Structures are given as structure tokens and as C-alpha cells.
Amino acid sequence: MCGIAGFVDCQQTAQGSPKLIVSMPKVIVSMMETIQHRGPDGHGIYQDAHACLGHRRLSIIDVANGHQPMANEDESVWITYNGEIFNHAGLRPALEQKGHRYKTHCDTETIVHAYEEYGRNCVERFRGMFSFAVWDKNIRVLFAARDRLGIKPFYYYWNGSLFVFASEIKAILEHPAVSAQFAAELLPEYLAFGYASGEQTLFSGIHKLMPGHRLTLDAGSRTLQIERYWDVPVTAGEDEPRSEREWVAECRQRLEETVRMRLMSDVPLGMFLSGGVDSSAIAALMKRMVSTPVQTFAVGYAEAEYSELEYARTVAQAIGTDHHEVRLSMEEFFHALPKLIWHEDEPITWPSSVSLYFVSRLAWCSPAKASRSAPAATWAGCRACSSRAASSASPTRCRWPSCSTSSIACPRW
């Protein structure tokens, strides 16, 4: 994942306020530091008299050249983006034929050129998981969109003259014009269902851009337009009845296509495996589609009756993956809650959030994750602990199960 943030001040004159222009870098730096955990591989800032964009990068595609914020050829259009456009390579030839010139192999650049060519309808051509903001500085318009199912987050604050956005609420609160106020009217719904169904959050004035929606802010007219660009399709009955064999074949074809598209990466791949039907099917298909060993990661509990480790281990052995596990104790589960509440910016409703945190941390410490910055053969430990081992005065054992070096305690644990 990456982290995005930024703001647009619609009160600015054409020349801008010198005082505000000076303070803009300090504000965006503070916002980006708050979400630096989302992008450890790099950061960048774009600023002009009216807007400021920030980005924290986790490198996946075109590791060397995909720095953000990224611009078009004449630097009139800038983007900060989180996610992956799985079909970006398929969209590129048509854009190049229309005269757009690429500098990288990143999916980020495809969004920029698609926006130039198709305007706000560009988002309808993307297949992927994404949230992004495009600043068109010549016309002072900010265009933002979120993927169809809301996999990637996008939060915003708008008071009629100032628009602030970010991947996480805590970054928005770093802007001096935004204060943390409790939206008490949302509490009954949150307590009843465990989540807020609409665009509101528990922070008054801060909203979610809903899944399948796009947003256009015209800084000149101070107008904000939000509209749905996608909804779950409702199809009429089939003209010709299909047999069970035909339905199974189509389901398999679509599943294989979906898995194959998500294997787009310039760094080693892995997946979370629970041993259930869905993750097991994905792992089996992934095993057939890649030439390198598949890394699988599972999380379970000390109490066997609540743990899925046995099922995940059985699937991993059956299809032949390089499997890793982490087992949680009750103490570790509850000790993690304050940190997770900080990460999620809201109360923890579902216990799966805790499990997901620990299995993600396990994947972070694996050689598969680390090999993009150092060859696995150069050290026997995990990425986080080995990078700091040389400075350790009192070495201890890393808790990643396969870390055989004596180094400082892994900071990710």
C-alpha cells in the first residue's frame, strides 16, 4: 500500500498568499509523516499557489522510476495515487497512439494520461484497487476517485473553501484548519452495526469517498461534485439456459483471469492463506501461474478450537508453497488493540483486524518481502532486524520463525 494526502485552498488569489505558500510545505510534511508506515520506500511533495499533494510510496511496479507525485509531459497535471491498475498495460497502447508520451512503466502514469484523454470518465476504464487525486493546475480542478469496492481508502474534509484529503483520518487532522470533533449522531449506528454505512465518519466534518464514486472540486467556483460511476450490475435472466458444467467453466475462467491480473508486480509475491475455500483456490491457481516459489502466510491462536493454522498448513503442503505461520496468545491479542485503533482511526469491531495485523507483520519480515532491497542469500534473517543488526549493542533473537540470526529484536514485532 501507499499513502496519499493533500489539500486545495480555494481562497487563494491567482498570485496566492505568501504566508500560506510558505506554510504549505510544513503542513504537507506533517501530514505525510503521520502515515509514513504506509510507504517506507520513498516520499514526495508537489506544491503550487493553490494545491499541495504528498505521497508515501511502497514500490511494486517500476521500482526505480515510479516516484510520486507524478506529472504529465508538460507538468500541468499531477497525481498522487495508492493502489494498482491491473489492466494498465492494456490501456497504454491506445494512449500512446493518441500522442501521449510515457517516461516510466508505472500504472500511475497511465492514470495521468487516461485523465488527459478521457476526463473524469477515465476511471470507468480501470480494473484494479485504487484511490487517487489528480490536480489539473491550469484549470484549478482536483479530480479524485475510489475503486469499485472501496479496497483503497480515501477520506476528505470540505468546509466550502478548504479541501483536505488523505488515506487516513489522522493525516487530515494534521492540517491546522481541521480539528478532531466527535460525531455523536453516528454513535447509535456504529454501536448497532459495527460500522458506518454512509459517507460519515466518527470525526465531525470528515467523510469517506464511497466505493465506486468520483469527486470533482472546482477551486475557482468553489464547487464540489460527487457522483457514483459504478454499481453492482443487475442482469436479467439468461436468454439461453446454461448447464452446470458451463457455469463452472465460466466461473473458473473468471477466477483465473482475476488471479492472473493481480500477479502484476516487480517485487516478490506472497498471499495470506487461511485454508478456506477462497484463499485455497487462489493459492492453487497462483502456484500454477508463477515460476518462483509461492510464499503463503497464516495466522492462528494458541487455542486450537479458534485457530485455522491446521487447515492452512494442509493446503500449503498439498500444493507445495513456502509456508510461514504466526500463533497469537491472548496477551498479544489484547496488547495490539491500542496500536490497531490508532491505525484504523476508529474502534475495533471485528477481531479479524487483529489477525490481519499479525499476519501482515509476518509477511513484512519474510525474505520474499526483503529481497527487493537485498538478495536473500546475503543474510539469513528478516528484513527489519538485519538492517539494524550492525548497530545492536545487545543482540537478541528475531521472532520471525525462520530468522536464524542473532540480531536486535525486529522492530516490526
Residues tagged active-site: 2
Report the side by side order of strands in the sheet with 42-47.
42-47, 51-57, 3-9, 162-166, 155-158, 206-208
What are the grid coordinates assigned to 357, written together?
495485523
Torsion 105-108-109-115 (CA) sign: positive
Residue length of the chain: 413
Residue 62 falls in which region: left (phi positive, over 0), alpha (psi -120 to 50) or beta:
left
Cα 356 to Cα 339: distance, rounded to the nearest angstrom: 13
- Do 140 and 155 touch, CB atoms closer than 8 A? no
Cα 248 to Cα 59: distance, rounded to the nearest angstrom: 36
Residue 219 one-letter amino acid: A
- The half-sphere exposure of 66 on its side-chain side, counting CA atoms within 13 A, is 25
Cα 313 to Cα 296: distance, rounded to the nearest angstrom: 10
CA angle (200, 201, 202) in 5-degree steps: 130
The b-or-e profile of 63-96 (16+ CB within 10 A means b, else e) is beebbbbbbbeeeebbbbbbbbbbebeebbeebe
